[in-house]
Amino acid sequence: MTSEERSQLPTMAEEKKSAPKVQDGPNRTEPLSGSGVSNTLDATDKPDQDVKPAPIAETSTPATKDAESVARSTATTAPTAAPSDDDTINPPDFQGEVLTTNDLPTIETLRKIETYTVLDNNGKSHTFKSLYAGRNSPRRVLIIFVRHFFCGNCQEYLRTLSASITSDALLQLPISTFIAVIGCGAPELINSYIQETGCPFPVYADPTCRLYAELGMVRTLALGSRPAYMQGKSLAHTVISGVVQGLRQVKTGLVMKMGDQRQVGGEFLFEPATLTLDTPVTTPRDEEDKKLELTHEDDKPAEREDPKVEEKRVTWCHRMRTTRDHAEMPELMEVLGLDGTGAAVKDKKRWAKALQTRKGTGLSMASQMSRMSVDTTHTTGGSVRA
């Protein structure tokens, strides 16, 4: 052994001593030889030749995975997103019918809105309750809610109503009955609205539409099928009529105050909550007796209690689903207890449908009034024959 070989012995010994061990099985390890170390170093220095990099495992946290899954689900469902609640309830304009019910308003709802105000043609405010309840109000009141004051559909409805149900016909009923109309435009347009429709009944305005909302009436521009009360008038006719009326109001500044064009209305019949035919109204003789009872000089009329106002509730109602979906005349006359079916129309097919279809919900006092009229007729006939 030469001196050069002896000088290399410590170095090789150190390599053997410090060489790492590799596992051969679960519990066995063997030292690597010097050549093994050199081979490993050569492979590390030349990764592009034979050694391929090991794949890196995904180490996403649960929060990251959740975010990624949400993002993927959103991206997947975005093109077919579900329609909003408003689109579900109110379909696109001019298509189908809006979803609404004809449930009768509750007593709680009526008490909530009884102090809401409406305006007459002079701009004077009245409580909503004063239209159907009070000392001098009729016992039965049908309140018709129409659309804006330029709506040709509702104007045709009031023209047909005026031809079918007159004030004289209502006076012939055994129980006092009346009709009132409410629109959602400015009160300054009421006079021109009455002239346009020839409506003999009082017309009021609710520009805020609060009554419409509280009573469950909806907003839509859907047309729906043409009703019989349109009297054969086409859509073009009603639209042009509304535009002409609007142009007439340009100088007055009321052209944009006709009301919410999307708001639709309905019909609500207010009758005594007791549903009894007996009237609580006192006679003039009763009032005279009350005056004679004032024996003290200090007694003043202001201190006396007014007769109790008869409580009313809605016994029948109908809410529009489209812009021309008012209850037809045969149904209104039936609910009010009037004889006949109203003024017939030329369109026999639509008129036949109007005679058979009933849109509203509820039970009015008409059946009781009918029996009362029959009893009165029998009694009168018997006395005449006697």
Q: Is the pLDDT of residue 87 over 70?
A: no
User: Which of 123-127, 157-161, 210-214, 240-244 shows the lowest per-residue confidence on average (mean pLDDT)?
Assistant: 240-244
User: What is the predicted pLDDT for the residue at 238?
Assistant: 76
CB 150 within 8 A of CB 275: no
Find where tokens 């009763």 sit: 286
- Report in angstroms the alpha-carbon separations of 48 from 20, 43, 44, 52, 53: 25, 9, 9, 7, 9
Q: Is the pLDDT of residue 158 over 80?
A: yes
Report residue 99 CA to chain centroid gap.
8
Residue-wise DSSP of 299-331: --GGGSPPPPPPPEEEEEEEE-SSTT-PPPHHH
User: Which of 27-31, 146-150, 171-175 shows the lowest per-residue confidence on average (mean pLDDT)?
Assistant: 27-31
Residue 259 CA to residue 146 CA, distance in Å, equals: 10
Please state, for a pLDDT cut of 90, what percent of the chain lies above it: 45
Angle, CA 158 vertex, CA 156 and CA 159 arms, to 5°: 65
C-beta neighbour count of 121 within 10 angstroms:
17
Give first-to-last CA distance, the chain, whole Å: 164
In terms of pLDDT, which residue wins out, 96 or 117?
117
* Three-class DSSP category at 371: helix
Residue-wise DSSP of 184-245: SS-GGGHHHHHHHHT--S-EEE-TT-HHHHHTT--B-----SPPGGGTT--HHHHHHHHHHH
Q: Is the pLDDT of residue 384 over 50?
A: no
- What would the pLDDT profile of 9-27 be if each residue is shown by its tens digit? 544 444 444 444 444 444 4
Which of 77-86, 237-246, 274-283, 300-309 has maximum average pLDDT?
237-246
* Three-class DSSP category at 128: helix
H-state helical runs in 263-302: 284-292
Q: What is the mean pLDDT of residues 18-46?
A: 43
Residue 116 CA to residue 130 CA, distance in Å, equals: 10
- What would the pLDDT profile of 117-156 be if each residue is shown by its tens digit? 999 999 999 999 999 998 888 999 999 999 999 999 999 9
Q: What is the mean pLDDT of residues 278-293?
A: 53
> Average pLDDT, whole number, for the chain?
75
- What would the pLDDT profile of 296-330 be if each residue is shown by its tens digit? 444 444 444 455 788 999 999 999 999 999 999 99
Residue 182 CA to residue 233 CA, distance in Å, equals: 23
User: What is the predicted pLDDT for the residue at 43?
Assistant: 41
H-state helical runs in the chain: 3-18, 34-45, 62-77, 85-89, 107-113, 152-164, 167-171, 190-197, 210-214, 235-248, 284-292, 329-336, 348-356, 366-385
Q: Please state at what angle helix 235-248 crosses helix 152-164, rounded to 10 degrees.
A: 100
Q: What is the mean pLDDT of residues 260-281?
A: 88
Q: Is the pLDDT of residue 261 over 90?
A: yes
- What would the pLDDT profile of 58-82 be if each residue is shown by its tens digit? 444 444 444 444 344 444 443 444 4
Q: What is the mean pLDDT of residues 33-54?
A: 43
Q: Which residues pair with 29 in a beta bridge?
A: 23
Find where tokens 């309140």 sit: 143
Please state, for a pLDDT cut of 70, what percent of the chain lies above it: 62
Q: What is the mean pLDDT of residues 359-368?
A: 92
Bridging pattern class, strands 125-127 and 117-119: antiparallel
- The identity of residue 358, as a single letter, is R
Question: CB-based contacts of 250: which residues, under 8 Å, 6+ apart?
Answer: none
- The identity of residue 103, as a single letter, is D
Find where tokens 């308003």 sit: 105
Residue 310 CA to residue 272 CA, distance in Å, equals: 7
In terms of pLDDT, which residue wins out, 13 or 255?
255
Band of residue 112 on the pLDDT scale cut at 50, 70, 90: very high
Nearest to 191 by CA among 266, 269, 248, 256: 248
Bridging pattern class, strands 140-145 and 125-127: unpaired
pTM value is 0.68
Nearest to 151 by CA among 269, 235, 248, 251: 235
Q: What is the mean pLDDT of residues 209-213?
A: 97
- Report in angstroms the alpha-carbon separations of 276 from 139, 279, 341, 375: 11, 8, 26, 16
> How many helices (H) and strands (E) would you count in the chain?
14, 10
